[in-house]
Amino acid sequence: MKSYELVVHPVENEADTRKADVIGCLDSHTVVGFERELQSVVDSGANVVILNLESLSYISSAGISALMGLTHRLRKSEGELYLLRPTEKVRRVFRTLGFTTIFRIVDEEAEVGSTPRS
């Protein structure tokens, strides 16, 4: 049985920023828990969310839909979702969908907040 885990880290000196590692596989089963946990991250006062996707092995359309929902929600309050270092496989899924122009995909945390949205 494939699973996923969301590990949330506090970000020093940035009260409205949360960073979390997404580990494992985001499919139509695991996405339910993922969305709930993301919501509680946002509810805890996060406006900028950095999701580290280095250890995300698979993402289905349901998982991408969850990321899209969060992107829209955060942007409504001038916030942003950053996707950090997705694997080549996940990047390819984003490219096929044409979403590389919508998501803010970054390779370094230092890029957070600096690159303009395309």
Partner 1 sequence: MAWILLALLIVVLAGGGYLYWKKVQAEEKLRADLWVLQREEKALFDFLNQFGQRMTSGTDTGPAMDLIVSFAQEATTADAAGLFVRDKGGRTLRARVVSGLFPPFHEVTSDRLFSKRKYVAEMVKREVIEVGEGVIGRVAVTGRPLLVADASKDERIPKPDISGLAVKDLLAVPLNVRDENLGVLVLVNKREGPPFNEADESLITAVARQASVTLDLIRLHRDKQERQRLEQELELARTFQALLLPRRTPSYPNIRLAGAYRPALEIGGDYYDFIPIDDRYLGIAVGDVAGKGVPGALIMAAVRAALRAEARLSLSPREVLQRVNTVAREDTKDSVFITMTYGVLDTETGRFRFCRAGHEPVICCPGDGKGIVSYLPEGIALGIVEGETFGITEEQEIDLSSERTAILYTDGIVEAMNARSEEYGEMRFHRQVQQHASGSPEELLEAILGDVGKFVRDRDQHDDITIVVINWTGEAKSQQAPQTDETGVSTTA
Residues that bind partner 1 (CB under 8 A): 2, 27-28, 33, 60-62, 64-66, 68-69, 72-73, 96-99, 101-102
Give me the least distance between CB of 3 and partner 1, in Å please.
Answer: 11
If the CB atoms of residues 10 and 98 are measured against partner 1, the closer one turns out to be 98
- For the chain, how far is it from start to end, CA to CA, in angstroms? 38
DSSP 3-state of 86: coil
Give me the least distance between CB of 55 and partner 1, in Å please.
Answer: 16
If the CB atoms of residues 17 and 30 are measured against partner 1, the closer one turns out to be 30
- Which DSSP state fits 35? H
Give me the least distance between CB of 2 and partner 1, in Å please.
Answer: 6
DSSP 37-85: HHHHHHHTT-SEEEEE-TTEEEE-HHHHHHHHHHHHHHHHTT-EEEEE-
